[in-house]
Chain A
């Protein structure tokens, strides 16, 4: 009995560790501004990704390693797949095992195209799509996998 209880405790502990990183927050039209305000004065990377994008997981692991080396950078992941995929998204995020804590959001409006438009009118749906905020929140938008040289030079100015 005691051992079973211990196991139960351990299980609970493990699960509680994951809940912080992997609970999805609903991303709606106002969320971009909300995220920017919440992390004002802090460098930040906001990465949009999808289960269906085979470049995205590599990108997220690159960003995870990068943020590990630059801990003052806040990492925010936004999945664009829409609500019906929440379970799968959580599963994939768990499997990714990023070495840092991050915020996880998911597109949560019925019209995902419009939501994308409200985030950025010059984003045409290509993924990965990533926004790099300097400390003063000077913004650089990047489509596609990040160029490691560029990432390094961006970090050197932080």
Chain B
């Protein structure tokens, strides 16, 4: 009898121990981290993640949104990055091809593969996904960025730790991770071998990337400068580039050994260069904007936007000629808001800040798109769904 009691209490103990994982399985709905893009007809395409699958669906943008039945891109469920700065990406080429990338998290901590899928029939069907990089070690290949140039060239960039691991093996010091990219010149049928842009990037922040008419790409990322300063860097990748030059883009001097989970935004300026927006932490924490001269690679003094005490961050930028829109997210005690400023002179001067949307409950980071020369906000939210609203002129 005694023995039975003992076995019982031991069993109970074991059951309790197992209880630590009892939260597992609570469902708060699918992740809110989505990406959107417009096609030439003005349809809004969305890439999202649910139950381990990347989904693509589309909606007309006249009136309220109504999405089609989604297509699953991966045939087997994966653990897909949707936390912090991670999200699936979608881009649409001028010929109507649709490209999607995402990061699959692998069992080893911080490790991942970047996957790619394409549709060459206007989104009716998508190709079997393939891994973009040739390096298949179970290490960090994460935080995919995707851009397609008007000429059709596809760039995929990501954060990669192969050089850190090689340095560790050789007992050498290596700070941060690296930025790598791969290019496809055959509409995504294949990608060339990956190339390195820069050593010593931040490990956990999204990369902002644009592709130009000429088929070049410009990237901006949080970099690890000397002394552990996490300011931003930019590089332009020429069509036949082998060793792109790295330019310092921001000078906030945020020195920190931490994961900020907070990457920058980038938009094309006139023929002079680029608009940049980013977050800096530390004593001067806040959201900043500056212009970058695309020839001399000199940036204008950083201009602060938003209320740092309301968590102003996660910027989005879009431009049309000399018009520029900058949006970001802030928190109030009861809701989250997207605030916006507009410039008509290429970012030299700005109108006053307006709140363009607000939602209670959980929300994603804002995205800006351009449709018929007009800026639109796309903002995913738990309660109000995907908010799609024309930004006041």
Identify the A interface with B (CB < 8 A): 5, 8-9, 11-12, 15-16, 18-19, 22-24, 26, 50-56, 81-84, 86-87, 90, 106, 108, 110-114, 117, 121-122, 124-129, 143-145
Contacts of A54 in B (CB 8 A): 109-110, 203-204, 259
Closest Cβ–Cβ distance, residue A19 to chain B (whole Å) = 5
Jot down 19 A-B pairs with beta carbons below 8 A, ordered by A.
A5-B3, A12-B10, A12-B13, A18-B17, A19-B13, A19-B17, A24-B20, A52-B83, A55-B258, A83-B26, A86-B24, A87-B21, A113-B336, A122-B285, A124-B260, A124-B262, A125-B260, A127-B261, A144-B258
Is B270 close to A, CB under 8 A? no
User: Restricting to B252-287, which residues have a CB under 8 Å from any CB of A?
Assistant: 256-262, 279, 281-282, 285
Is B95 close to A, CB under 8 A? no
Q: Is A111 a contact partner of B362 (Cβ separation < 8 A)? A: yes
Please give me the residue from chain A that is nearest to B27 by CB atom: A84
Contacts of B310 in A (CB 8 A): 121
Please give me the residue from chain B that is nearest to A127 by CB atom: B259
Known contacts A124-B279, A125-B260, A144-B258; decide if A90 and B309 are in contact (CB<8 Å).
no
Q: Is A23 a contact partner of B20 (Cβ separation < 8 A)? A: yes
Closest Cβ–Cβ distance, residue A78 to chain B (whole Å) = 14
Closest Cβ–Cβ distance, residue B203 to chain A (whole Å) = 6
Q: Is A126 a contact partner of B261 (Cβ separation < 8 A)? A: yes
Contacts of B26 in A (CB 8 A): 83-84
- Complex Cα spacing A128 to B84, Å: 14
Is B28 close to A, CB under 8 A? yes
CB within 8 Å: A-B pair count? 124
Q: Is A124 a contact partner of B24 (Cβ separation < 8 A)? A: no
Of A19, A24, A110, A126, which contacts B28 at CB under 8 A?
A110
Is B313 close to A, CB under 8 A? yes
- A contacts with B: majority SS: mixed
Q: Is B281 a contact partner of A124 (Cβ separation < 8 A)? A: yes
Is B373 close to A, CB under 8 A? no
Please give me the residue from chain B that is nearest to A125 by CB atom: B261
Closest Cβ–Cβ distance, residue B333 to chain A (whole Å) = 9
Contacts of A55 in B (CB 8 A): 257-259
- Complex Cα spacing A124 to B307, Å: 12
Contacts of B17 in A (CB 8 A): 15-16, 18-19
Known contacts A9-B10, A12-B10, A87-B24; decide if A124 and B313 are in contact (CB<8 Å).
yes
Q: Is A15 a contact partner of B285 (Cβ separation < 8 A)? A: no
Q: Is A126 a contact partner of B110 (Cβ separation < 8 A)? A: no
Q: Is B331 a contact partner of A86 (Cβ separation < 8 A)? A: no
Please give me the residue from chain B that is nearest to A94 by CB atom: B20
B1-20 CB mask vs A (1 if < 8 Å, else 0) is: 00100110010011011011
Contacts of B204 in A (CB 8 A): 52-54
Please give me the residue from chain A that is nearest to B260 by CB atom: A126
- Complex Cα spacing A19 to B10, Å: 13
Closest Cβ–Cβ distance, residue A25 to chain B (whole Å) = 10
Closest Cβ–Cβ distance, residue B273 to chain A (whole Å) = 28
16 more A-B residue pairs beyond the given contacts A87-B21, A117-B311, with a C-beta to C-beta distance below 8 A: A8-B7, A8-B10, A12-B10, A15-B13, A54-B203, A56-B259, A82-B28, A84-B24, A87-B20, A113-B362, A114-B336, A114-B362, A117-B331, A125-B84, A126-B260, A129-B258
Contacts of A53 in B (CB 8 A): 204, 258-259
Q: Is B23 a contact partner of A86 (Cβ separation < 8 A)? A: yes
Is B302 close to A, CB under 8 A? no
Of B24, B262, B285, which contacts A83 at CB under 8 A?
B24
- Complex Cα spacing A54 to B204, Å: 9
Please give me the residue from chain A that is nearest to B334 by CB atom: A114
Please give me the residue from chain A that is nearest to B26 by CB atom: A83
Q: Is A126 a contact partner of B362 (Cβ separation < 8 A)? A: no
Closest Cβ–Cβ distance, residue A83 to chain B (whole Å) = 4
Contacts of A144 in B (CB 8 A): 256-258
Of B23, B29, B258, B309, which contacts A143 at CB under 8 A?
B258
B357-385 CB mask vs A (1 if < 8 Å, else 0) is: 00001110000000000000000001000
